[in-house]
Chains A and B, each alone.
Chain A
Amino acid sequence: MILTINGRPLAATPGETLLQVARRAGVDLPTLCHHEGLEAWGGCRLCVVEVRRRPDDAPKVVPSCLQPAEDGVRVETHTEHLLRIRATLLDLLLTRAPDSDLIRRLAVEHGVSDGTFEPRPEPTSCILCTLCTRACAAVGAHAISTAGRGAEGEVSLPFVDDADACVGCGSCAAVCPTGCIELKDAGSRRTIWGRTFERVPCEVTGQPTVTREYAELLARRSGLPVDSFFVSDEGRRRQTADRVAGLVGVGDGRVA
């Protein structure tokens, strides 16, 4: 099917979202709650676009990350109205999270240098994009969730401090766009969500790999043995090299 983005005809396949089509065509659309590996959320609203089915329709503002591509639709990504929406949203977000470098950079790109609204009583860096909770759910741990409603909502453990379900994988901290989830690695000790884990040493290199809890979760989900996850990337390379060397009969099967 064919649709147009900013007047330019583009081919799209059924099932694609407008964001995918736009990005493939090199159209720059900002996002904060979007991650290719996770279910689309439509929360930050920065990726909104205007859509019209017929030329004389009133444009409808929709999130491109969720709006399915349809044959013949006309999409605009940078109208004055959309730019005003994005600037206002970034102003709101910068007011909420003034210490986030990413939000500030995006805001500046949209002509907002400082949050102009009334600041929160207690500053936060969390913009409630829920990438962390969705990543945690995708991992299969379901250790964190949003709690509370509205602007007072927050990402939380069950009953605030019950970290039993956390496996210390660090996915939440890795996907957080504003870096507000604290993860501390000191040697093999990992501290996250108020809980300290031990990362099991790589059986080849001795480097810390993943936590036993995470390995057990992965083993349950994949059917592979738990130990198979206690190999670092470097260790995995060496194992492969050894195996190849063994197969072609070079040296003693060990790589220096």
Chain B
Amino acid sequence: MSERIASLAALEAWRTRLVAAHDPKRKAIAVCAGTGCKAYGSDQLTAAFRKAVAERGLDVDVRATGCHGFCERGPLVVIYPSMIFYQEVGRKNLAKDVAEILDQTVAAAPGAEQIVARLQYKTPDGTPVVHEHEVPFYKHQNRLILSFNGKIDPDSLADYVANGGYRALAKALGTLTPEQVLAEVDASGLRGRGGAGFPTGRKWRFCREAVAPLVNGVPTRYVVCNADEGDPGAFMDRSVLEGNPHGVLEGLLLGAYAIGAREGYVYVRNEYPLAVQRLTKAIADARAAGLLGADLLGTGFAFDVHVTRGAGAFVCGEETALIGSVEGNRGQPRFRPPYPAVSGLWGCPTTINNVETWVNVPLIVDRGAAWFAGIGTRGSKGTKIFSLVGKVNHTGLVEVPMGATLRHIVEQIGGGIQGGRAFKAVQTGGPSGGCLPEPMLDLEVDFDTLTAAGSMMGSGGMIVMDDRTCMVDVARYFIDFLIQESCGKCTPCRDGLIQMGHLLHAVVEGRATRATLDRLEALAPVVRDASLCALGQTAPNPVLSTLKYFRHEYLAHIDHRQCPAGVCKALITYRVNARCTGCTVCAVQCPEKVIAGEKKGLHVIAEDRCTRCGVCHSVCTFGAVDILPGRGGKE
């Protein structure tokens, strides 16, 4: 449909036609075209499916969809309508995989499909799984938002509409006043998914009730979508924007209607080229269809959206810095008040929410606040998307109701720790979050419990660590990241973080004393309490939370000059044990040539000249190279 949709009735008529034209029994091959699967070559896979389907003359719809979430096993393929799930398709033999899937699964009648066993998912105990919803990674999720991702072609407005898209907008424009939309969002209990968890309805109300200055004679307010997701390892907003751009636009439209804005901005980082591309296409399609622009759907309501690309500063995810950046200024936070809801973009009242918050709004308006408020905990409603990464068996994007336990996420969905090793900690909330230990695994995750535990929800990063992770080194890593990303405006964050970095480097490099720890513990609260914006205020979290839960590891580094996890190079020793077969691989591979030994004889590392690069440990196939905590070989 390229012509304008002239009215609410015309939108519903189009939807009815689309749904009627869709044969639910028709076979479809959904190939994930999220960034992870694309990196594995899913574009070539889609093309190969299309070509092979044409050659065979099959009536099959081949569609590239948004991210399915199980990125680790990409490229992912789901065969509709039976929902047969294939993983790692085309990684090794693209032509063979495509041919076998088509001939054995797709060409067969429903119910008579044969399964290509070698492309099936198998549980850790080896049991093959046929259907997507039976894969434990998906089975234990509640995918309200992400369900769109696997289903629709993100470049197709028709697909979104056929799946109920813009129905909430039609409902709002046709039957609800702006105040009623606002009341609905308020009653749903939705809280901002960007990190702080501020109640969305209350934020919108501040904006709606703020005095709007006249721009060209019109009272002006703005809505802004924050898509400057910058946490290392986090890609929730990226996947939503790439997989369901119209969902975000519909959220912005509803927000604009509720607060009285005519213009909106999506601030998306330039490192997300696919998100920019799909969003730009979605905006162009929505404009052409009359879903954006003047007099949209013939209701008199006007709204349009612009895309602003960010240049990769983490701090621009902070709302006041983001607003500065959109205005063309240096991306630097400023003090609040005034809050953006009162004085934001170009001094006008501005509602700024992140991608995940906006994409929840159409669901709330469509299905009602009571439905949404029925999901989650007392203080945190709905679902939350986490990017589950680190040392779990199954990494990827997971969506669970608020209140799901960390254990549920790590063990059921994540499938436990890789290689059967021991869980040590889970880091939530991005670089400024905290590390929670094993006893906290039964914590029911929501905004308030995580904060009370000394971590935070953040935007939903979740990094799982095993017993080979050094918690001091983790704290050092995050502080180093934040030093790089501090904008430099305020003294504690600019000059304090760099000193926290020096102190942490002293610990991991074996130069620290108890006084180092005292200094760290004195400096951290100053940075936390005196910094200007949330970046600095939360930056000490990784240090404070590891000091709280893993203090013994700091003390091992300081008192015993040992890194118990075997990570910190200055505080470990590599030594060959009796399992050595004398294969000579380590000696050959050692870049320093400090491993001596005869063929078939026990090898020995010259520990005084060893640089602890770890090559010997990783090339040894006999487990004959030990990493001992401490220098000088004390075991």
* Known A89-B530, A117-B502; contact A149-B486, beta-carbon cutoff 8 A: yes
How many angstroms from the CA of A46 to the CA of B497 in the assembled complex? 17
Q: Are B486 and A61 touching (Cβ within 8 A)?
A: no
With A45-B532, A88-B523, A118-B502 as given contacts, are A150 and B491 in contact (CB-CB < 8 Å)? Answer: no
Does chain B have a CB within 8 A of A125? no
A46 to B313, CA, bound (A): 26
Instruction: Give Cα A24 to B330, complex, Å.
Output: 33
Q: Is A208 an interface residue (CB 8 A)?
A: no
Tell me the smallest distance from the CB of B306 to a CB of chain A, in Å.
25
Say whether A92 faces chain B, with CB atoms less than 8 Å apart: yes
Residue in contact with A128 in the complex, picked from B488, B499, B523, B532, CB distance below 8 Å:
B488
Q: Across the interface, do A89 and B499 meet the contact criterion of CB distance under 8 Å?
A: no
**Is A42 a contact partner of B488 (Cβ separation < 8 A)?**
no
Establish whether residues A89 and B491, one from each chain, have CB atoms under 8 Å apart when the complex forms: yes
B338's nearest neighbour on chain A, judged by CB, is A68
* B531, closest chain A residue (CB): A45
A44 within 8 A of B: yes
Q: Report the interface size for chain B: residues with CB under 8 A from the other chain.
A: 29
Whether B530 lies near A150 (C-beta < 8 A) is no
The answer on a CB contact under 8 Å between A95 and B495 is yes
A42 engages B486 (CB within 8 Å): no
**Closest partner residue, chain A, to B526 (CB atom):** A88
Within 8 A of B (CB), among A44-60: 44-46, 48
Residues of A within 8 A of B490 (CB): 42-45
Interface positions, chain A 136-190, Cβ under 8 Å from B, are: 145-146, 148-153
Among A84, A89, A127, A150, which residue has the most Cβ atoms of chain B within 10 A? A150
- B-chain residues with CB within 8 Å of residue A145 when the two chains form the complex: 330
Known: A84-B526, A88-B522, A151-B483. A45 touches B495 (CB 8 A): no
Shortest Cβ distance from B535 into chain A, in angstroms? 11
Asked if residues A45 and B488 are in contact (CB atoms below 8 Å), the reply is no
Known contacts A61-B529, A66-B335, A118-B502; A148 and B488 CB within 8 A of each other: yes
Partner of A93, one of B483, B484, B491: B491
Q: A45-B530, A145-B330 are in contact. Are A150 and B523 (CB under 8 A)?
A: no
Q: How far is the CA of A81 from the CA of B522 in the complex (A)?
A: 11
User: Are B532 and A150 in contact, CB atoms less than 8 angstroms apart?
Assistant: no
Q: Which of A41, A117, A153 makes the CB contact (< 8 A) with B499?
A: A117
Question: How many A-B residue pairs lie within 8 Å, measured between CB atoms?
Answer: 94
Q: Does B167 interact with chain A (Cβ within 8 Å)?
A: no
**Inter-chain contacts of B497 with A (CB < 8 A):** 150-151
Residues of B within 8 A of A46 (CB): 491
Q: What is the bound-complex CA distance between A151 and B488, given in angstroms? A: 6
Considering only residues 462-512 of chain B, those with a C-beta below 8 Å from chain A are 483-492, 494-499, 502
Chain B residues contacting A48 (CB-CB under 8 Å) are 530
Closest A residue to B484 by CB, please name it.
Answer: A150
Residue of B nearest to A68 (CB): B337
Contact across chains for A150 and B529 when beta carbons are under 8 A apart: no
> Is A85 at the interface (CB under 8 A from chain B)?
yes
Q: Enumerate A1-53 residues with CB–CB distance to B below 8 Å.
A: 40-46, 48
A212 at the interface (CB under 8 A from B): no
Roughly how many angstroms separate A99 CA and B488 CA in the complex, as a whole number?
Answer: 21
Q: A96 at interface (Cβ–Cβ under 8 A)? A: yes
- Chain B, 511-545, CB within 8 A of any chain A CB: 522-523, 526, 529-532
Within 8 Å of chain A (Cβ to Cβ): is B334? yes
Q: Is the interface of B mostly helix, strand, loop or mixed?
A: helix
Q: Are A153 and B494 in contact (CB under 8 A)?
A: yes
| Complex contacts, A42 vs chain B, CB 8 Å | 334-335, 490, 532
Q: Which single member of A41, A81, A84, A92 contacts B492 (CB below 8 Å)?
A: A92
Q: How far is the CB of B317 from chain A (nearest CB, A)?
A: 14
Across the interface, A150 reaches (CB within 8 A) one of B486, B492, B522, namely B486
Query: Which residue of chain B has the shortest Cβ distance to A150 in the bound complex?
Result: B486
Q: Is the beta-carbon distance between B494 and A85 smaller than 8 angstroms?
A: no
**Chain A residues within 8 Å of B522, by CB:** 84, 88
Across the interface, which residues of A come within 8 angstroms of B532, CB to CB? 42-43, 45, 63
Q: Name, among A88, A148, A152, the residue most crowded by chain B CB atoms within 10 Å (CB to CB).
A: A88
Knowing A150-B483, A151-B486 touch, does A43 contact B491 (C-beta < 8 A)?
yes
Q: Which residue of A lies closest to B314 (CB)?
A: A149
A118 and B499 within 8 A (CB): yes
Q: Are B495 and A149 in contact (CB under 8 A)?
A: no
Cα(A107)–Cα(B498), bound, Å:
20
Closest Cβ neighbor of B523 among chain A residues: A88
Q: Please give me the residue from chain A that is nearest to B334 by CB atom.
A: A42
B488 x A89 contact (CB < 8 A): no
Considering only CB atoms, which chain B residue lies closest to A151 in the complex? B498
Complex partner residue of B489 from A40, A43, A67, A68, CB under 8 angstroms = A43
Q: Which residue of A lies closest to B496 (CB)?
A: A92
The answer to whether B487 touches A89, judged by C-beta atoms less than 8 angstroms apart, is no
| CB-based contact A89/B492 at 8 Å | yes
A85/B530 contact (C-beta < 8 A), A42-B335, A151-B488 known: yes
CA distance A29 to B502 in the complex (A): 30
Which B residues are CB-close (under 8 A) to A68?
337
CB pair A85–B529 under 8 Å, yes or no, is: yes
> Chain A nearest CB: distance from B583 CB in Å?
45
**Residues of chain A within 8 A of B531, CB atoms compared:** 45
Least Cβ distance of A77 to chain B in Å?
14
Which chain B positions have C-beta within 8 A of A117? 495, 499, 502
Question: Told that A42-B334, A93-B491 touch, could you supply 9 new A-B pairs with CB distance under 8 A?
Answer: A40-B335, A42-B490, A61-B529, A63-B532, A84-B526, A96-B495, A146-B330, A149-B313, A150-B485
Chain B residues proximal to chain A, CB less than 8 Å: 313, 330, 334-335, 337, 483-492, 494-499, 502, 522-523, 526, 529-532
30 contacts between A and B (CB under 8 A): A40-B335, A43-B489, A44-B490, A45-B531, A45-B532, A61-B529, A63-B532, A67-B335, A84-B526, A85-B526, A85-B529, A88-B492, A88-B496, A88-B523, A88-B526, A89-B496, A89-B526, A92-B492, A93-B491, A95-B495, A96-B495, A117-B495, A128-B489, A130-B489, A149-B487, A150-B484, A150-B497, A151-B488, A151-B497, A152-B488
5 closest Cβ contacts across the A-B interface?
Answer: A153-B488, A150-B486, A92-B495, A66-B335, A88-B526
**Which of A's residues lie within 8 Å of B, judged by CB?**
40-46, 48, 61, 63, 66-68, 81, 84-85, 88-89, 92-93, 95-96, 117-118, 127-128, 130, 145-146, 148-153
